[in-house]
Structure 1
Amino acid sequence: MTQPLRPSRRGLAALASASLLLPATACTSSAAQADTIRIGLLVSLTGTYTAVGEDMQRGFRLYLDTHDGKLGGRTVDLVVADEGDGPATAVPAAQRLLERDRVVALSGLVGGATVDKVQTVATERKVPLVGANARPAFAPVAGKPRDLAYTWHTSYNSDEPGIAIAEYVKAQIGDGEVYAIGPDYQGGWDELRGFTDTFAMLGGRLANPDGKTLFTPFPATENFLPYLNKAAESEPKAVYTFYAGGASVAFVKQYRQSDLKDVPLYAAGFLTEGSVLSAQGSAATGIRNVLNYSPTLTNPANQQFIAAWSAAGHAGQPTTYAMASYDAAAVLDRALSAVDGQVTGEKLNTAIGQVGRVVSPRGDWQFHPREHRPVQRWYLREVKPDGPVLSNVVLQDLTTLPAN
């Protein structure tokens, strides 16, 4: 099992000095600026998405380490907790962060089902959740819209990757059919629904025998070959999928061993993102995928981000997980700078809503005024050599979401 990421020496120094300070009690702005605040980072330290959780830690800590361990002029005590594989682990951890550790904000969160539950807990406590990975398209509660007043995300809605690439896939295969396959849990449902619903609206058809996505048991499935060989019997023109973490390595390697090996594979970009791409190796070459970030983007903010990433000694290229977590820290930095006096969840939440445009490695973005998620560009990427390594190289812009 991959070990949880350890703080950098600089991060440890910041935390050590923070532990010597008392909780905030001063009323004046100048005194408050010197206080330590606690922020909870809830990510997968165990389970299927450990690698994703580690990258999210790296991104948040990278921002702290390049800002002297402070956000908004205040020293940060970053309290990291384990999300595990879903709400059963994550909700108790979130409650401890809120009640025992008394954090002023929560960040992180790998899985959509986790977000759905944790955002309710954070809202009840009036503590902002600045999520940095999957976010479900929240269903109404008792017929009423979900209360998102304290829920923010620097990532995306989980259905957006599929929405963004569906038109491109339809143009590539014409009247052909696509086979849709993904994991049987909230994230998989959202990711595949975004693609299949949009593809259907464009006149596309699924090759699946019943016209419905095939969902594989999560997180139990390790052998995908029976599913892939069965899918090949429908003779699709292409396959669309979403997997992430350890499952994506097995899926990609077995895809190249299956009867589908010569069928074009399109995916949400998490399939080939980060350390899983190194593990997949040449089996991933040629996969076209969609995401809101690529390390090959040439904007100045991304060049600075990559330089800082490399200087920190991290192996490989930064990922969308690290980038979104880095941006979550940046949002909190700007918001905390605008909070006068003692930091409360309510004051901080108001300040987050006034952050405005964020200059980011992905390209500039800003929060949607109602849904509190980024209005951002989505990119078509292809796995191919970028110098001596395989990378998700940007081919073109696809669209900006949400559209309104």
Structure 2
Amino acid sequence: MNTKKMITGIMATLAIVAATTTASRAEDTVKVGVVIPMTGGFQSNGRQINAALKTYVATHGETAGGKKVEFIVKDDGSSADNALRISQELVTSDKVSILTGFGNTPTALSVAQISKRAKIPQIIMVAATSSIMKASPYMLRTSWTIPQVASVIGKWAPENGTKKFVSIVSDYGPGADAEEWFSKTLEANGGSVISKLKVPLANPDFAPFLQRAADEKPEGLFVFVPTGAGAAFMKQFVERGLDKSGIKVIAMADVTDDDLLNDMGAPALGVITGGPYSTNHASPENQTFVDAFKKNNNGMRPNMVAAAAWDALDLIYKTLDKTKGDATGDTFVKAAEGMQLQSPRGPISIDPQTRDIVQNIYMRKVEKVGDEFYNTEFQTIENVKDPAH
């Protein structure tokens, strides 16, 4: 009987040791769920994010705050429903402490309910609609906001001689934000939007909208379409002869995406955009970033999505360093608030009041540099906050 009790006691002790060891291993690892669109309409964003993740880990290693950082990458297929289901599984089954990624606004919004309920930090790498930050107190953003960029363009254009516009935007949340903040700022600075056109998000055909815009005879077109659709827009702009009409294209940075600019070629020359980053941004940090990115991704060129993803990862690592590896929602977010980082795009910080990004916005012009096309920055507007907050 004593022998049986002893064996039972030993078995119980071994079980406790095993459980403790497993818990200890778990505590030594911070799991990060990366929910991105590797397929579907926003897959170019997923491709850039995945490449940035590969580059960041290759250059910074897999530890932060004294713990191993494990990334679990999942494809949401550009779908909000998929993003919600995947994030739920990442939190309940994979036990992730942090969620990041979110290549568009609908996916970020759908997952905000999990972030809020489970107190999981949700770090936005792309989704740029201003209002999403209100959806969860555990949300942080390292990309940009549509009003942050559109308001800068709306002020710059009339100050530089272009006042009469037609706006063409994709018909979804970010497009509405772009139209509203460009118009509002343009009109406050003496300009006017004589016609506001909305293009379907799925399978857009810009030709009829470009014809309507041409008929209005504006001085400029303000354009916002998601990354990836800019090439189709510029191709149709040239095909309709609008490049010779004297109508200027002054657009959001997505239209002349750095990743696709060489494929767009000559039609993009001279296009002016406002944005948070250009591949040829002149700084040592950016040179190091671009070189490492190309080295780790077969010569691929990083765009502003890659820069934002890189900064999200940098925010995760530096916040974990600050908390000594504690990724608990309240602790992590409090430590991240006010964080200042030297990004490939220039200095950035997390606004402690809004948890949103503060950064430089650059006015850029497409130019040919050697055999390649680049968005060349020619004016810097420093420390821009989201005016919609």
Please report the TM-score for the alignment, with normalisation by the length of structure 1. 0.84
Contact kept in structure 1, 2:35 and 2:76, CA below 8 Å: yes
> 1:38-90 deviations in whole A, cap 9, x for unaligned?
11111111112111111011112211111223333422221112233342332
Q: Distance in 2 between matches of 1:172 and 1:255?
A: 23
| Contact 1:48–1:247 (Cα < 8 Å) also in 2 | no
Instruction: Give, in whole Å, the separation in 1 of the partners of 2:302 and 2:38.
Output: 18
Does the CA-based 8 Å contact 2:81-2:110 persist in structure 1? Answer: no
Partner of 1:12: none
* In structure 2, distance between residues paired with 1:161 and 1:311: 30
**Aligned-partner residue type, residue 71 of structure 1:** A
Aligned length: 366
CA contact 1:128–1:150 (8 Å) conserved in 2: yes
Cα deviations by residue, 1:343-382 (Å, 9 ceiling, x for unpaired): 433433333236x211111111211111111211100111
Counterpart amino acid of residue 151 in structure 2: I
What is the one-letter code of the residue matched to 1:279? D
The aligned residue for residue 227 of structure 1 is 209
1:134 aligned to 127, 130, 146, which one? Answer: 127
- Superposed displacement of residue 308, structure 1: 1.3
Distance in 1, matches of 2:67 and 2:185, equals 45
Q: 2:147 touches 2:386 (CA, 8 Å); kept in 1?
A: no
> Secondary structure, in 3 states, of the residue corresponding to 1:310?
helix
Confirm whether residue 202 of structure 1 aligns to residue 189 of structure 2: yes
Which residue among 240, 249, 273 is the counterpart of 1:258?
A: 240
RMSD of aligned residue pairs (Cα, Å): 2.3
Q: Which has the higher helix share?
A: 2
Q: Which of 33, 36, 47 pairs up with 2:40?
A: 47
Q: Which residue of 1 aligns with 2:361?
A: 378
CA distance in 2, matches of 1:200, 1:261: 25
Amino acid at match of 1:170: P
Rounded to whole Å, the distance in 2 between the matches of 1:207 and 1:343 is: 50
Change (3 A) 1:200 1:23: farther
The partner residue of 1:75 within 46, 68, 73 is 68
Per-residue CA distance 1:137-177 (angstroms, 9 max, x = gap):
217xxxxx935420101112222211111111112335x41
Matches within 5 A, 1:116-265: 116-138=109-131, 146=134, 148-174=136-162, 176-208=163-195, 213-221=196-204, 223-262=205-244, 263-265=247-249
Q: Which of 330-339 and 313-322 deviates more? A: 313-322
Corresponding position of 1:142: none
Q: Which residue in the other structure is 2:278 paired with?
A: 294
Cα deviation code 1:375-394 (max 9, x no counterpart) = 11100111111222101111
Amino acid paired to 1:371: T
CA deviation map 1:69-117 (0-9, x unaligned): 3333422221112233342332222222222222111111111232223
Q: Classify the secondary structure of the residue corresponding to 1:190.
A: helix
Letter in 2 for 1:154: T
Written as runs of structure 1 = structure 2, the 5 A alignment for 1:306-321 is: 306-321=290-305
Gaps of 5+ in 2: 1-19
Q: What TM-score, normalized by structure 2, do the two folds share?
A: 0.87
| Structure 2: distance between partners of 1:216 and 1:349 | 37
User: Kindly tell me: are residues 246 and 78 of structure 1, through their superposed partners in 2, closer, same or farther at Cα, counting changes over 3 Å?
Assistant: same
Task: Provide Cα deviations, 1:278-327, integer angstroms capped at 9, x if missing partner.
Answer: 32121111111011111222222112212211322442432111111111
Q: Structure 1 residues 368, 383: closer, same or farther in 2, change over 3 A?
A: same
Is 1:363 the counterpart of 2:361 in the alignment?
A: no
Q: Counterpart of 1:17?
A: none
Cα deviation for residue 188 of structure 1 reads 1.3
CA contact (8 A) 1:32 1:342 kept: no
* Structure 1 CA distance for aligned equivalents of residues 352 and 331 of structure 2: 18
Farther off after superposition, 186-195 or 160-169: 186-195
Distance 2:188 2:202 in 1: 31
Counterparts in 2 of 1:135 and 1:392: CA distance versus 1, 3 Å? same
Distance 1:387 1:24 in 2: 56
Listed one character per residue, the Cα deviations across residues 178-223 of structure 1 (whole Å, up to 9, x for unaligned) are 0100111112112222211211222321121xxxx211111131x2
**How far apart, in 2, do the equivalents of 1:82 and 1:377 lie?**
31
Counterparts of 1:116 and 1:391, CA distance in 2: 33
2:346 counterpart SS class? coil
Give unpaired runs (5+ residues) of structure 1.
Answer: 1-21, 140-144
**Is the alpha carbon distance of 1:314 and 1:374 closer, same or farther for their aligned partners in structure 2, counting shifts above 3 Å?**
farther
More displaced stretch, 325-334 vs 165-174: 165-174
Conserved 8 A contact 2:358-2:383: yes
Q: Counterpart in 2 of 1:63?
A: 56
Q: Distance in 2 between matches of 1:380 and 1:91?
A: 36
Worse-superposed segment, 339-348 or 85-94? 339-348
Letter in 1 for 2:23: T
Q: 1:98 aligns to what SS in structure 2? A: helix
Structure-1 separation of matches of 2:109 and 2:235: 32
Q: Which amino acid aligns with 2:294?
A: S
The amino acid across from 2:108 in the alignment is: V
